[in-house]
């Protein structure tokens, strides 16, 4: 029985051959993403801008597509419609949440706008009722932004601490650089295309961070084994060998993940499209950074060869130049 092979079992690719283009390009794109974020800013969704949530109860199954089409002529801006399960409701009642962004800097939509929304939904669902209306002001939204930033930074800090304990500080810095690269480029593409940025995208970024680190750790783990095994091989060659030995695993893992994500991107609908797009982009840049960013940092810093020794005064100088 023949196995599917996306790449040959043995490859000999020099990943540092065009480092000026790959690593240099990553540095430029990361800086550009940060500048664009500061200069233009993200297109924040309701979670971060504030808005109003209208609960809709209906005796018929909720059709979010019809609701969205009915509300389009009102030009309300960012509108999110989700069907929810309410255990306190009877089995014959269906519940949906219609979330509308704050209008013209106000904390909530006006009564006239609320009536227009209810009338539009009534046209496509005569049994719809509106038992509650809740508003989220800019202050709460601002707190959500701070919490989201803290969540991302805490995740990165925990990962860096883990890498530092398991490997060496040079590997930790390489992992940090790769993670910053992935997060910055993800935010950058959302700035460029002005895609809605809400809490679901924060969840996607946290997932991207974990995925990228997992890929980086696989390469680093093999590099540590090879550094002990090939004590006289130059560090550049050891890192290239490690990346080549794990290339098949990297391609298979990323490839199968992308197949599922692309299917969701095409068939999943508008509700999850931005989330899936962020995940798809993150898998691509995360795989790229584990090969072309993290290893370059380790190469520049240098590492010790034998982990059985407690320290190595030459780490960071000798072996970065290929001396034994």
Residue-level pLDDT at 322: 43
Q: Give the residue with greater pLDDT, 177 vs 164.
A: 177
pLDDT tens for 263-280 read 999 988 777 889 999 999
pLDDT tens for 128-161 read 999 888 877 666 667 777 888 888 888 888 877 8
Residue-level pLDDT at 71: 92
Residue-level pLDDT at 310: 54
Residue-level pLDDT at 318: 41
Name the burial class of residue 114, with classes exposed (0-12), middle (13-18) and buried (19+) by CB atoms within 10 angstroms of its CB. middle
> Nearest-CA neighbor of 7 among 236, 318, 250, 224?
250
pLDDT at 321 over 50: no
DSSP strand pairing (43-44 vs 196-197): parallel
Half-sphere exposure of residue 33: CA atoms within 13 angstroms, side-chain side: 17
> Nearest-CA neighbor of 217 among 254, 181, 167, 165?
167
Q: Is the CB of residue 234 less than 8 Å from the CB of residue 16?
A: no
pLDDT tens for 80-132 read 888 877 666 666 788 898 988 876 656 667 888 889 999 999 999 999 999 88
Q: Give the residue with greater pLDDT, 178 vs 4.
A: 178
- Token digits of residue 236: 């550049």
Cα–Cα–Cα angle for 155, 158, 162, rounded to 5 degrees: 135
- Three-state SS across the chain? CCCCCCCCCCCCCCCCCCHHHHHHHHHHHHHHHHHHHHHCCCEECHHHHCEEEEEEEECCCCCHHHHHHHHHHHCCCCEEEEEECCCCCCCCCEEEEEEEECCCCCCCCCHHHHHHHHHHHHHHCCCCECCCEEEECHHHHHHHHHHHHHHHHHHHHHHHHHHHHHCCHHHHHHHHHHHHHHHHHHHHHHHHHCCEECHHHHHHHHHHHHHHHHHHHHHHHHHHHHHHHCCCCCHHHHHHHHHHHCHHHHHHHHHHHHHHHHHHHHHCCHHHHHHHHHHHHHHHHHHHHHHHCHHHHHHHHCCCCCCCCCCCCCCCCCHHHCCC
pLDDT at 203 over 50: yes
Residue-level pLDDT at 292: 94
Of all residues in the chain, what percent carry a pLDDT higher than 90?
Answer: 40
Residue-level pLDDT at 19: 92
> Nearest-CA neighbor of 55 among 110, 116, 132?
132
Q: What is the Cα gyration radius of the chain?
A: 25
Residue-level pLDDT at 304: 66
pLDDT at 35 over 60: yes
Q: Is the CB of residue 180 less than 8 Å from the CB of residue 293?
A: no
Residue-level pLDDT at 324: 37
| Cα(220)–Cα(162) distance, integer angstroms | 13
> Nearest-CA neighbor of 181 among 14, 20, 19, 32?
32
**pLDDT average, residue stretch 189-194:** 94
- Token digits of residue 279: 């995940």
Of all residues in the chain, what percent carry a pLDDT higher than 70?
Answer: 85
Domains of the chain, CATH where assigned: 19-42+140-321 (1.20.1640.10), 51-136 (3.30.70.2040)
């Amino acid at each position: 029985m023949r196995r599917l092979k996306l790449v040959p079992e043995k490859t000999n690719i020099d990943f540092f051959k065009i480092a000026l283009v790959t690593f240099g390009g990553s540095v430029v794109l990361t800086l550009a993403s940060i500048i664009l974020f500061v200069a233009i800013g993200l297109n924040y969704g309701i979670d971060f801008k504030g808005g109003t949530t209208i609960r809709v109860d209906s005796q018929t199954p909720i059709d979010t597509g019809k609701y969205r089409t009915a509300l389009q002529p009102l030009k309300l801006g960012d509108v999110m419609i989700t069907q929810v399960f309410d255990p306190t409701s009877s089995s014959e009642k269906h519940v949906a949440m219609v979330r509308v962004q704050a209008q013209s800097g106000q904390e909530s939509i006006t009564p006239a706008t609320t009536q227009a929304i209810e009338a539009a939904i009534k046209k496509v669902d005569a049994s719809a009722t509106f038992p509650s209306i809740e508003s989220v002001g800019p202050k709460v939204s601002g707190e959500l932004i701070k919490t989201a930033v803290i969540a991302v930074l805490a995740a990165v800090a925990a990962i860096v601490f883990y890498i530092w304990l398991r490997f060496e500080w040079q590997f930790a810095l390489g992992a940090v650089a790769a993670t910053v690269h992935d997060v910055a480029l993800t935010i950058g593409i959302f700035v460029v295309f002005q895609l809605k940025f809400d809490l679901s995208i924060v969840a996607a970024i946290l997932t991207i961070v974990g995925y990228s680190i997992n890929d980086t750790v696989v390469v680093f783990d093999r590099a540590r084994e090879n550094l002990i095994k090939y004590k006289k091989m130059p560090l550049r060659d050891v890192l290239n060998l490690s990346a080549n030995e794990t290339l098949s695993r990297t391609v298979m893992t990323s490839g199968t993940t992308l197949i599922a994500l692309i299917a969701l991107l095409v068939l999943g609908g508008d509700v999850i499209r931005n989330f899936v797009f962020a995940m798809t982009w993150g898998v691509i840049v995360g795989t790229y950074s584990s090969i072309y960013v993290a290893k370059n940092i380790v190469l520049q810093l240098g590492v010790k060869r034998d982990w059985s020794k407690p320290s190595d005064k030459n780490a960071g100088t000798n072996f970065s130049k290929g001396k034994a």
